[in-house]
Structure 1
Amino acid sequence: MLKAVHVSGSLQKKEFLEFPARLYKDDKSYIRPLNKDIEAVFDRKKNKLFERGECERFLFENNAGQTVGKVAVFVNPSYKNNQPTGGIGFFDCINDQKTADFIFDFCKNWLQERGMEAMDGSINFGERNKFWGVLIEGFHEPLYGMNYNAPYYQQLFENYGFKEYFQQLCYSRSIYAPVSRAFTMMHSKHSRNPAIKARPLTKNRLEKFAKDFTEIYNKAWASHEGGKQISVAKTLRMFRSMKPVINEHIAWFVYENEKPVAMWINIPDLNQWFKYLNGGFGLLEKLKFLWIKKFRENSKMVGIVFGVVPEWQRTGIEGFMIWEGTQHLREHTTFQETELQWIGDFNPKMMKIAKNLDAQVTRKLATYRYLFDPNQSFERHPDI
Structure 2
Amino acid sequence: MNIIRVSDRRTRKKFHDTARIIYRDDPVWVCPPDKDIESIFDPKINPYFKHGEVDRWILENADGTLIGRVAAFIDHNLAHSHDQPTGGMGFFECINDINAATILFDMAREWLTERGMEAMDGPVNFGETDKYWGLLVDGFTHPSFDVPYNHPYYKELFEAYGFRTYYRMEGFHMDITKPLSDRFRKIAKWVTAKPGYSFRHFSWKEEEQLTLDFAQVYNEAWASFKTQFEPLRPEYIREVLKKAKPIVDEEFIWLAYFEDRPIAIYLMFPDVNQIFRHLNGKMHLFNMIRFLWLKKRRTMTRAKGLLMGVIPAFQNLGIESALILHVWDVLKRKPHYTEVEFSWVADFNPRMRKIFVSVGSVPAKNYITFRYLFDRTKEFKRYPIPDIK
What CA deviation, in whole Å up to 9, does each residue of 1:69-92 have, x standing for no partner? 111112221233211112111111
Conserved 8 A contact 2:200-2:254: yes
1:291 positional shift: 1.4
Partner of 1:150: 151
TM-score normalised by length of structure 1: 0.94
Match of 2:299 among 276, 297, 308: 297
Which one is further off, 121-130 or 189-198? 189-198
Conserved 8 A contact 2:21-2:66: no
Q: Does 1:338 align with 2:340?
A: yes
Amino acid at match of 2:145: Y
Partner of 2:246: 244
Change (3 A) 1:233 1:131: closer
1:180 positional shift: 4.6
Partner of 1:64: 63
Conserved 8 A contact 2:136-2:366: yes
- Structure 1 CA distance for aligned equivalents of residues 133 and 290 of structure 2: 28
Partner of 2:116: 115
Conserved 8 A contact 2:30-2:277: yes
Amino acid at match of 1:114: R
User: 1:95-174 maps to which residues of 2 (within 5 A)?
Assistant: 95-174=96-175
What CA deviation, in whole Å up to 9, does each residue of 1:292-327 have, x standing for no partner? 111133111011121112221121111122123213
Conserved 8 A contact 1:180-1:356: no
- Structure 2 CA distance for aligned equivalents of residues 98 and 238 of structure 1: 38
Which one is further off, 173-182 or 50-59? 173-182
Give the 3-state SS of the residue equivalent to 2:337 in structure 1: coil
1:9 positional shift: 1.4
1:20 positional shift: 1.1
Partner of 1:257: 259
Give the 3-state SS of the residue equivalent to 1:193 in structure 2: coil
What CA deviation, in whole Å up to 9, does each residue of 1:256-299 have, x standing for no partner? 23332212111101101111111112333222211111113311
What CA deviation, in whole Å up to 9, does each residue of 1:179-204 have, x standing for no partner? 35553342243244242222222333
Amino acid at match of 1:322: I
Match of 2:355 among 353, 356, 359: 353
- Structure 1 CA distance for aligned equivalents of residues 60 and 237 of structure 2: 41
Which one is further off, 175-184 or 48-57? 175-184
* Gaps in structure 2 of 5+ consecutive residues: none
1:225 positional shift: 6.2
User: 1:299-378 maps to which residues of 2 (within 5 A)?
Assistant: 299-378=301-380
- Structure 1 CA distance for aligned equivalents of residues 18 and 235 of structure 2: 37
Amino acid at match of 1:92: E
Give the 3-state SS of the residue equivalent to 1:244 in structure 2: coil
Partner of 2:5: 6
Give the 3-state SS of the residue equivalent to 2:275 in structure 1: helix
Amino acid at match of 2:42: D
Amino acid at match of 1:235: I
Partner of 1:268: 270
Give 4+ residue runs of structure 1 displaced > 6 Å after superposition: none
TM-score normalised by length of structure 2: 0.92
User: 1:17-32 maps to which residues of 2 (within 5 A)?
Assistant: 17-32=16-31
Partner of 1:200: 201
Conserved 8 A contact 1:182-1:319: no
- Structure 2 CA distance for aligned equivalents of residues 225 and 290 of structure 1: 41
Match of 2:234 among 221, 232, 235: 232
1:249 positional shift: 2.9
- Structure 1 CA distance for aligned equivalents of residues 223 and 373 of structure 2: 27
Give the 3-state SS of the residue equivalent to 1:243 in structure 2: coil
Which one is further off, 221-230 or 372-381? 221-230
Change (3 A) 1:200 1:295: same
